[in-house]
Structure 1
Amino acid sequence: MKNRSLTRRSIRSRLGDRSQNRRIALVAGILAVLTAVAGTAAYLTGRADSSPTAATPSPSPSAASTPPPGRSSVPTPPSTHDPVVFAKAAADVLWSYDTRTTSHQAELDGLKRWMSTEHEYADWGSVNAQMPEAKLWSRMRSNAQHATAKVAEGHMPQAFKSAMAEDPGAITEAYVYAVTVTGKQTIAWRGGGAGAESRSITLGVQCRPKTECTLTGVAPQVAP
């Protein structure tokens, strides 16, 4: 009887360990998606795929030889401890640009100010992937292309909230929150423009206690 009791306790202990491991794996998996550590080749809608190349003709030599001012049109990050408020502001920045007044490098520099300084959690590559490359930016500039955004709402995805409910303490390591933002982007260029198109994006936002929120990355897929 004693050996049987020990065996039952051992089984229960192993099952408990497996359950705990599943919770840890789930939370770790979500955080990995948020910071896009696994890669960003399939980055979601944003700057790169929202800039219609068909409406952006090749620049004339004179247009390409005159760079825009070096200042950035990217605003400074908001001072907030609310990940949803920060994510909505970040989405607005990612969906807005003005090639008429901002160089490609200045735009990158402006976006970097939004990033977390904790390199183990920050994935700059996933944010950079939202921008057109320098050559495309030059073509867009020759056509005075610019875009504005209108953010509709932001929320924490259900999968993220469920994981946090399973293990509330898991967030305390990185304090990275998943936030999905929806809205519309309107693109215009010299002599024309396109209507507003729907946009959705899931961002990783780091908000440590008593520390203002920062951006950690863009998830490769939108989480509902």
Structure 2
Amino acid sequence: MRNRFPTLSLSSYGVGWSAHRRIAIVALVVTVLLTIAAAVAWLSGSGNAHRDPTATGPATTHSPSSSEAPAPKPEAGSGSVPKPPQITEPVAYAKAAAQMLWSYDTRDTSRDQQLAGMREWMTKEPTYADWASVSGQVPDPLLWSRMADQDQHATARVTEGHYPGAFKQALAEDPSAITEAYIYVVTVNGKQQIAWKKGGGGAEDRAVTLAVQCRPGHDCALAAIAPSVTQ
């Protein structure tokens, strides 16, 4: 059986959304794009089977962290988490955000620093920010500690990003609808490389759908992580 490598994996943790949060973000996109309701049929989270983090492989997790509270302040900066880029194009920003979310380094970054760094990528408009869907990618404190014991770290390579078909259709049918919140739905694909002590490591394909806000005259920002969209 092929190993499943855990990380701040979107495919692993998308199911961590509460029903309230999921309904809220879907309702938002429906408001902005009149026909996006049709896309809800193919919005679904997916879970992964994981192994014990004390084994020779990387640490794993079964559930997302508690994420309703604000991100903690970093102990000293944001560790290895990169700063959000100054990008005004939705697909380019989504690709950068996905690479950030798929990358981490427990050797020099605490869990609090990881969360604080990720929070910097979020839109500052609370109406559209679903922080729970993003912070839910980070394992709980105990699991992060076990990952750190293994020196677990990951890098990512993005292969492509695109607007899902339903989003493009909705936008074509009513181009002016986007002007309420300027939220774009982008699916990103890539590959994640994970390594840990004693030469351990592995790679896995990744895919995620992000809601990105790009208002005219402003840099883009992350609004939410959506369940998987494959079209």
TM range (shorter): 0.7 to 0.9
Shift of 1:24: 6.0
Which residue does 1:199 correspond to in 2?
206
**Maintained 8 Å contact 1:185/1:198:** yes
**Maintained 8 Å contact 1:151/1:182:** yes
| Structure 1 pair 217–157 and aligned structure 2 pair: CA distance change class (3 A) | same
**Alpha-carbon displacement from aligned partner over 1:105-138 (angstroms, at most 9, x marks no partner):** 0000000000001111110010011121111100
Runs of 4+ off more than 3 Å: 21-25, 27-30, 42-45, 48-54
User: Which stretch of the first structure deviates more once superposed, 194-203 or 175-184?
Assistant: 194-203
Report the TM-score, using the length of structure 1 for normalisation. 0.73
Amino acid at match of 1:194: G
Shift of 1:27: 3.6
Does residue 114 (structure 1) correspond to residue 121 (structure 2)? The answer is yes
| Structure 1 pair 153–23 and aligned structure 2 pair: CA distance change class (3 A) | closer
User: Counterparts in 2 of 1:1-224, with a 5 A limit?
Assistant: 25-27=34-36, 43=45, 53=53, 54=55, 55-56=57-58, 70-71=76-77, 72-224=79-231
Provide the rounded CA distance (Å) in 1 between the counterparts of 2:109 and 2:211.
26
Provide the rounded CA distance (Å) in 1 between the counterparts of 2:178 and 2:127.
15
User: Which stretch of the first structure deviates more once superposed, 89-98 or 194-203?
Assistant: 194-203
**Maintained 8 Å contact 2:191/2:205:** yes
Provide the rounded CA distance (Å) in 2 between the counterparts of 1:186 and 1:92.
11
Shift of 1:49: 7.6
**Maintained 8 Å contact 1:206/1:213:** yes
| 3-state SS of 1:81 partner | coil
Instruction: Return the structure number with greater helix share.
Output: 1
Provide the rounded CA distance (Å) in 1 between the counterparts of 2:49 and 2:97.
17
Provide the rounded CA distance (Å) in 2 between the counterparts of 1:129 and 1:214.
18
**Maintained 8 Å contact 1:56/1:139:** no
Provide the rounded CA distance (Å) in 2 between the counterparts of 1:165 and 1:192.
50
Identity of aligned residues (%): 51
Provide the rounded CA distance (Å) in 2 between the counterparts of 1:184 and 1:123.
25
Provide the rounded CA distance (Å) in 1 between the counterparts of 2:46 and 2:163.
17
**Maintained 8 Å contact 2:88/2:218:** yes
Amino acid at match of 1:171: I
Gaps of 5+ in 2: 1-29, 61-74
Aligned pairs, number: 184
Amino acid at match of 1:98: D
Gaps of 5+ in 1: 1-20, 37-41, 59-68
Provide the rounded CA distance (Å) in 1 between the counterparts of 2:59 and 2:101.
23
Structure of larger gyration radius: 1
Taking only aligned residues, the RMSD between alpha carbons, in angstroms, comes to 3.0
**Alpha-carbon displacement from aligned partner over 1:42-75 (angstroms, at most 9, x marks no partner):** 6457xx98897352479xxxxxxxxxx7442111
| 3-state SS of 2:202 partner | coil
